[in-house]
Amino acid sequence: MTWLLTRGRVPFLSALLALTAFFAVHAARIGVETNNESLNTQEAEQTARYDRFKATFGSDEDLLLAVAHPKLLGREGLELVDALTGRIARIDGVRRVFSLSNAQQIVSGESGAEMAPVVAPPLDDPALAIRIRAVLDRNPDFTGLFVSRDRRVAGLLIEIEDRPGDERYRAAIIDALRGIIAEPHAEGVSLHLTGIAVQKHDVSAFIEQDQRLLMPLAVAVLALVLAVFFRNWLGVLLPLGVTGVTSAWTLGAYQLAGFQLNAITSLLPPILMVLSLPVSVHLIQGWLDAPAASINRVDRILGVMRWVVFPCFFCSLTTALGFSSLVTSSMPAVRQFGVFAALGVVLSFGVGMTLVPVGLSFLAPPAAALRSPQHRLLRRLLAASAAAATEHPWRVLAVFSALTAVSFAGLPLLHNNTDLVRFLKRAAPLYRDTLFIDANLTGSITLEFVSARRDGTPLTSLDAVRRMAAFEQAVLAHEHVTGVGSIVPVLRQIQRAESRGEQLVLPDNERDAAYAFDLLEAAPEQDLIRKLIAPDFTSARFNVRVRAVGTAIAAPLADAILADGRRLFGDDYIVTATGALYNVAQDSNRLVASQVNSFSLALLLVVIAIGALLRSVRLTFIALIPNLMPIAWTGGLMGAFGIDLSTGTAMIASAVIGVIVDDTIHYMTDYRRVYRGDPGDAIRRTTTGIGPALLLNNLVLVLGFWVGCFGSFKPTIYFSLLSGATMITAMLCDLFVTPACLMLFDRRQAVAA
Amino acid sequence: MRTGHLLLLVFVMFLAWPSAARAQEVVPARLAPWLDATTERVVERAYVPSAESKVGEVRILRRSQATVVETLLYTKVLSRVVGEICKKELANWPGNSDAARYIEMLERVQKQIWSRLPTNQRVSDRRQKLWIDFVVAPGVAFIGVGAFEMEEPHGEVRVKRRELLALLEPSPEYVRRNLRLITADAFHIEDAAVGPLLGPLP
């Protein structure tokens, strides 16, 4: 080490610079994921089922454009819808556009059922609106999908081509549509766009936007805090240097591993910056506080290193273990976050323990220990906390235990809920547009169900048709369901046209049922029919349109519909659920379940690490109390304020446990170092001695995490906010509960002796 | 079986016989040879509307001295195909009484074939099979329409059994011109190319 601080400084810095440049180049090349693939779990059966669905019925990621017009069914309104339909259909990557202007109804023709346009020319017919209203009243299935109930909003269903490997065309389509929306329109006319593809597009755009904002903000916040605390330029530059090197290396490795940033890992850059600071802060604080007698700069640095290396190593270890526990998650994005946050922490320890000493070796040590006015104020506050813990340990524990008990009341109120739309802020275009479409047209999200006979025979029998119709009616009876797209309404229209009747009824005998399918087989609109039933009629799709709800509602709704399906179809049929929303709901449930495993693993690893450091079962137990309390408080707080467990918030406990335990490790290590038989004295010396550094570390961590509050996604905002809040409460527990427990532990030992 | 039951069965069969017999068209003796498929030779055939999506085929046949343009339809949506034929017929023969009678006959036979499909049980082959023969023979020109049964060795349709359900003797000009129109349409050829394909008509 002496070599490194003397002759080895230049080679070391050169090598560090070269490596950092290499990784920085790669870090700068990190892309942003455009399809949210890493937010889906890799559950084999679920993926295979969804692939089969897409292979049979096509993608379920259609876009929905709503056109509000005060005279929609008049000439101007219909011409606008027609113009938009044609214009959008010409955009590269758009397969088809279905709208009021090209919708077909099934009517009685000379030889039975035949297709006829809903909007038949001439458009300057004075009775046009009356004519179209009559058609819409006669075909209730169009309402909700192509036109609102009040006939003022039209829906354009935009089917997108599937181009595997092409990550750009969807974004180009959405940009083109947003361009059309932004154009000036007549008074009272507005356009609104939603769909899964829009969600993916906007998530990518927000990630890029957040990267541009959060990184500079994190640097500014950290620099400010360090400057205020140290009032010394090296106290700012050296920690930021460690942060820069760590971030470059970790993000470079992330890019080299072939990953792109997603909604979760977009938090990595600011969090890496925060997590890589503590080692530097402890080293610089120790160097500044070292006794003036140690004037040899190398000896002074080595002394500080010997003092902090052990606790810093264990702190880094526990933090890394906490994050690495996320590898048990079923979601790739969470696993990537855990692995690379842990890697960053380990790297920051190595870089901090070398770069900071080398940097300090260039400087002349201060003649006297740093004593700033803030420190005096802080130390008075810290002395007061130490006094409270040593003089009234039972009261302190009673107060904190009572708070914990209260927080337990909020835990049952926690809900597992992933709401892709409400993840965004209210001002986000997708949020506003989705809720508009939800209120005026059909539900903006869909659950997909597929029914098939076990023996693989077609669903063309009268029995199969009746079972499909019964299932359709059962689905429609569920709350939150706004409509069901299936082959059943088409069969009703065919039967009405064939029988030349007025009522929408299903075929009532085998011949008519089979004939309806014969007509479907021979129909010209095969693309549309293939979206509802397999070409060989062996499996049928039920596209259940649902209001924009989160997975807390969607998951049990899907289960209830699946139960209906199994009951109504019987043992001879297979009914399965799939689709983008269903998969998100399943992933969300799996994520929370896996986070429980992650937290258990993190806790176990942290206990082992603390046990190895303290070599005392009782002290390890004491160390856990001030760290579990704040996590329980945060959980209770989330339950009380209705903050859902979701992709981001479910990670808090696992990620934070490894961070907050660091203060406890530093505190207990220092306590044992200064303990001379009087626990009260040791607590006072520990609290006022390392308290300022702990507070600074916490302040840096909290502010660093809170930088994420300026992000675009609520789960990451909540993750940042609540992680920071947990760190504050954990600090309070370390300043009150830990010393109170140590006091009581010492008394029991004294009594036992 | 008791004697009473046997008598009842005989009585029912007696009642049923005339109606079954009525379903089968009676062929006049002078036309019968030209409907006898046992002697026919297939000159040319074409799937309609195309080989990729066929609902039937049109064949040019020689039955002794007669030239026959036979349309075999085997489709699940026979009413649609017949509807399309009727549309073309009306377009080709506006206001023509022979065309009107032909259309009426065709629709009646189609409904008759449709009604034979069982309503309350599923059948494996739901295709409804209808044949239409435009026959030009020495001294006679007529149209025969009926149902048939078929087999498909190696994907080629072979008629196993034919049943005449309707017969029409319109003007010879109507039959002769329709022969040419159907051939041109089915084989996708110009009118000038029809003659060599059909050969000299009797």
- Which residue in B120, B122, B125 has the most chain A C-beta atoms within 10 A of its own C-beta, making it the best mutation to test that interface? B122
Residues A637, A713 within the same domain? yes
Q: How far apart are CA A483 and CA A547, in angstroms?
A: 10
Residues A602, A717 within the same domain? yes
Contacts of B110 in chain A (CB under 8 A): none
- Residue B6: the pLDDT is 43
Contacts of B126 in chain A (CB under 8 A): 514-515, 518
Place of tokens 């009747």: A501
Contacts of B75 in chain A (CB under 8 A): 522
Residue B117 lies in a domain: yes
CB-CB under 8 Å, B83 with A111 = yes
CB-CB under 8 Å, B119 with A510 = yes
Q: Residue by residue, what is the 3-state secondary structure of A78-98? A: HHHHHHHHHHHHCCCCEEEEE
Residue B58 lies in a domain: yes
A512 touches chain B (CB under 8 A): yes
Please name which of B73, B52, B86 lies closest in space to residue B178, comparing C-alpha atoms.
B86
Residues A611, A513 within the same domain? no
- B22 pLDDT above the threshold of 70: no
- A462 pLDDT above the threshold of 70: yes
Do the Cβ atoms of A142 and A528 come closer than 8 Å?
Answer: no
- The SS3 call for residue A716 is helix
**CATH number of the domain enclosing A299:** 1.20.1640.10
**Most confidently predicted of A150-154, A200-204, A551-555, A649-653:** A150-154
- Residue A294: the pLDDT is 56
- Which residue in A110, A511, A521 has the most chain B C-beta atoms within 10 A of its own C-beta, making it the best mutation to test that interface? A511
Residues A174, A223 within the same domain? no
What are the structure tokens assigned to B70, written together?
């036979």
**Which secondary structure element, helix H or strand E, spans residue A378, and what is its range?**
helix A373-391
Q: How far is A99 from chain B (nearest CA, A)?
A: 27
B82 touches chain A (CB under 8 A): yes
CB-CB under 8 Å, A112 with B79 = yes
Q: How far apart are CA A209 and CA A222, in angstroms?
A: 20
Amino acid at A516: A
Residues A176, A221 within the same domain? no
Contacts of A510 in chain B (CB under 8 A): 118-122
Q: How far apart are CA B116 and CA B163, in angstroms?
A: 13
Residues A460, A327 within the same domain? no
What is the DSSP annotation of A675-695? -SS-HHHHHHHHHHHHHHHHH
Sign of CA dihedral A172, A173, A179, A181: negative
Residue A49 lies in a domain: no
- The SS3 call for residue B93 is coil
Q: How far is B55 from chain A (nearest CA, A)?
A: 10
| B62 vs A415, residue with greater confidence | B62
Q: How far is A135 from chain B (nearest CA, A)?
A: 24
Boundary residue ending a domain (A138, A171, A194): A194
Q: Where are the beta strands (DSSP E) in A442-546?
A: 445-453, 481-485, 539-546
Length of chain A counted residue by residue: 753
B137 touches chain A (CB under 8 A): no
CB-CB under 8 Å, A522 with B80 = yes
- The SS3 call for residue B56 is strand
- B14 pLDDT above the threshold of 60: no
Residues A499, A366 within the same domain? no
Cβ within 8 Å of A, B 153-172: none
Q: How far apart are CA A407 and CA A399, in angstroms?
A: 13
Task: Give the number of C-alpha atoms closer than 13 A to the C-alpha of residue A251, restricted to the C-beta side.
Answer: 29
CB-CB under 8 Å, A518 with B77 = yes
Sheet containing A539-546: give its strands across: A481-485, A539-546, A445-453, A573-578
Do the Cβ atoms of A468 and A451 come closer than 8 Å?
Answer: yes
Please name which of A190, A139, A81 lies closest in space to residue A432, comparing C-alpha atoms.
A190
| A261 vs A297, residue with greater confidence | A261
Residue A627 lies in a domain: yes
Residues A123, A155 within the same domain? yes
Residue A43 lies in a domain: no
CB-CB under 8 Å, B120 with A509 = yes
Which are the contacts of A368, defined by CB distance < 8 A and separation ≥ 6? A292
Give B72's strand partners. B57, B131
B79 touches chain A (CB under 8 A): yes
- Domain with A328, as residue range(s), is 2-37+201-420+585-752
Residue A357 lies in a domain: yes
Amino acid at A686: T
**Alpha carbon of A4 to those of A7, A8, A360: distances in Å?**
6, 4, 12
- Residue B20: the pLDDT is 40
- Which residue in B50, B75, B77 has the most chain A C-beta atoms within 10 A of its own C-beta, making it the best mutation to test that interface? B77
- Residue A265: the pLDDT is 87
What is the number of CB-based contacts under 8 A between chain A and chain B?
43
CB-CB under 8 Å, B126 with A522 = no
Residue A56 lies in a domain: no
Residues A133, A235 within the same domain? no
CB-CB under 8 Å, B79 with A111 = yes
Residue B165 lies in a domain: yes
CB-CB under 8 Å, B119 with A509 = yes
Contacts of A515 in chain B (CB under 8 A): 76-77, 126
* Least trusted range by pLDDT, from A291-295, A581-585, B178-182: A291-295
- B79 pLDDT above the threshold of 80: yes
Boundary residue ending a domain (A194, A226, A244): A194
End-to-end Cα spacing for chain A: 44
Residue B19 lies in a domain: no
Residue B42 lies in a domain: yes
- Nearest Cβ partner for B117 among A111, A511, A522: A511
Residue B150 lies in a domain: yes
- A753 pLDDT above the threshold of 80: no
Contacts of B80 in chain A (CB under 8 A): 111-112, 519, 522
Residue A16 lies in a domain: yes
- Nearest Cβ partner for A511 among B83, B86, B119: B119
B77 touches chain A (CB under 8 A): yes
Q: How far is B75 from chain A (nearest CA, A)?
A: 9
% chain A with pLDDT above 70: 97
Mean pLDDT of A343-358: 94
- Residue A137: the pLDDT is 92
B108 touches chain A (CB under 8 A): no
The tens digit of pLDDT for each residue in A91-128 reads 999 999 999 999 988 998 877 888 889 988 788 888 88
A521 touches chain B (CB under 8 A): yes
Cβ within 8 Å of B, A 103-132: 109-112
Pairing of strands B56-63, B40-48: antiparallel
Residues A157, A209 within the same domain? no
Distance of CA B98 to the CA centre of its chain: 17
A461 touches chain B (CB under 8 A): yes
Q: A452-469 b/e with 16+ CB inside 10 Å = b?
A: bbeeeebbbbbebbbbbb
Residue A314 lies in a domain: yes
Contacts of B84 in chain A (CB under 8 A): 111
Residues A596, A700 within the same domain? yes
Boundary residue ending a domain (A521, A549, A577): A549
| A713 vs A97, residue with greater confidence | A97
Residue B110 lies in a domain: yes
Please name which of A717, A27, A704, A664 lies closest in space to residue A319, comparing C-alpha atoms.
A664
Sign of CA dihedral A429, A430, A435, A439: positive
Q: How far is B118 from chain A (nearest CA, A)?
A: 7
- Domain with B88, as residue range(s), is 29-198
- A52 pLDDT above the threshold of 70: yes
B80 touches chain A (CB under 8 A): yes
Q: How far is A458 from chain B (nearest CA, A)?
A: 11
Residues A240, A368 within the same domain? yes
Q: How far is B124 from chain A (nearest CA, A)?
A: 11
- Residue B180: the pLDDT is 95
Contacts of B54 in chain A (CB under 8 A): none
**Alpha carbon of A242 to those of A113, A310, A530, A558, B189: distances in Å?**
75, 19, 58, 49, 84
Q: What's the domain count of chain A?
A: 3
Q: How far apart are CA A420 and CA A583, in angstroms?
A: 12
What are the structure tokens assigned to A638, written together?
């989330």
- Residue A362: the pLDDT is 85
CA nearest A114 in B: which residue? B80
CB-CB under 8 Å, B118 with A111 = no
Residue A397 lies in a domain: yes
Q: How far apart are CA A279 and CA A355, in angstroms?
A: 11
CB-CB under 8 Å, A512 with B126 = no
The tens digit of pLDDT for each residue in A601-620 reads 888 888 888 888 888 888 88
Amino acid at A207: I
pLDDT-derived band at B101 (thresholds 50, 70, 90) equals very high
pLDDT-derived band at B116 (thresholds 50, 70, 90) equals very high
Q: What's the domain count of chain B?
A: 1
ipTM reported for the complex surpasses 0.95: no
Residue-averaged pLDDT of chain A: 88
A519 touches chain B (CB under 8 A): yes
Residue B159 lies in a domain: yes
- B12 pLDDT above the threshold of 60: no
- Which residue in B52, B53, B79 has the most chain A C-beta atoms within 10 A of its own C-beta, making it the best mutation to test that interface? B79
